Amino acid sequence: LPTEPASKCIGVFDSGLGGLTVVRRLMREMPAEDIVYLGDSARVPYGTKSPETVRRFAHEDAAFLMRQDPKAVVIACNSASAVATESLRAELGVPVIDVVTPGARWAVEAAGGRPIGVMATEGAIASGAYQRAVALAAPQYADRVLTAACPLLAPIVEEGRSEDDPIVLSVVHDYLHRMQRDRPGALILGCTHYPLLQGAIAKLMGPATALIDSGQATAVAIAEFFRREGLANPRSGGGQLRCWSTDNPERFERLAGRFLGRAPQSVQWVGADELTAAESPVGGTP
């Protein structure tokens, strides 16, 4: 019998480990859902690469996930969401959810008429995707978006430095002190890694700037979408998380806990060159 759409898994991909911060929010909002996660650790970072390259990688990642027969695909990477959402929507044939739009909407609600800040990778900022998403949500904000590209922050998080580390505080200060002077009402954490630096960012920006976790905004938006469309998994128990990495699964497993909030149960390897193979290398469940 064909599987009921609601009981199918959610496919989630990111350039590496960072998207697990989005998975963590998805699991909290929708504990019954099965999630298949692909981290393209062999080709991370996406945030410094050209839109064409990131788009190609994103389509390859999504092709792998489509072989798991998901009910929806989540682009849990801001850099990929910024440049590949439209083309993936045109190609996949299942709902494609990006992490840029929900965060932009939350920021508009939280900003209280003051400017909106966005911090993200070089690629995500250069694409103008956040600026467009904010303007679409609220045209009056079109020229009131302040941006900061913060290329050093994702590697700093992966290195495991804590939020009160002087190096972290100094890099955060360097990237954000100009924006801080403009007193934005909301600041979008527009990169998967930044929720782990929330304390350091809040310390610099002060209590008058609401920090918007784009992964959290996305998880809430997806839960609403599933309820509306009858796509929420009806089971009463908890769902399963299965992780795939295009690079060494050991490193993935070692670092994943920091992003996910707990150790992942199963991490398997798939070669980046196998992502688009016609036959699934996956077979059954791991």
Q: In whole angstroms, give the CA distance from residue 57 to residue 273.
A: 10
Identify residues 166-205 at the interface with ligand DGL (CB under 6 A): 191-193
Cβ nearer to ligand DGL, comparing 33 with 98: 98
Least separation in angstroms between CB 123 and ligand DGL:
7
Residues in the interface with ligand DGL (CB under 6 A) total: 17
CA distance 155 to 129: 22
Q: Which residues pair with 190 in a beta bridge?
A: 120
Reduce the DSSP state of residue 13 to 3 states and report it: strand
Using the rule CB under 6 A, is 46 a contact of ligand DGL?
yes
Active site residue 77: yes
Is residue 78 a contact residue for ligand DGL (CB under 6 A)?
yes
The answer to the question of residue 102 lying near ligand DGL (CB under 6 A) is no
The residue within the footprint of ligand DGL, chosen from 104, 111, 124, 134 (CB under 6 A), is: 124
Q: Which residue has the tokens 């209280």?
A: 112
Query: Which of 69, 70, 79 lies closest to 15 in space, CA to CA?
Result: 79
State the amino acid at position 202 in one-letter form.
A
Q: Which stretch binds ligand DGL (CB under 6 A): 74-82, 133-141, 165-173, 249-257?
A: 74-82
Query: Which C-beta is closer to ligand DGL: that of 190 or that of 249?
Result: 190
By CB under 6 A, name the one of 10, 14, 200, 255 that touches ligand DGL: 14
Residue 45 interacting with ligand DGL (CB under 6 A): yes
Alpha helices in the chain (DSSP H): 20-29, 51-66, 78-92, 100-110, 122-127, 129-137, 153-158, 166-181, 198-205, 214-229, 249-260
Compute the least distance from the CB of residue 215 to ligand DGL, in Å: 9
- 226: tokens are 């599933």
How far apart, in whole angstroms, are the C-alpha atoms of residue 231 and residue 15? 26
As measured in angstroms, the least distance from the Cβ of 37 to ligand DGL is: 13
Residues that bind ligand DGL (CB under 6 A): 14-16, 18, 44-47, 77-79, 121, 124, 154, 191-193
Active-site positions read: 77, 191
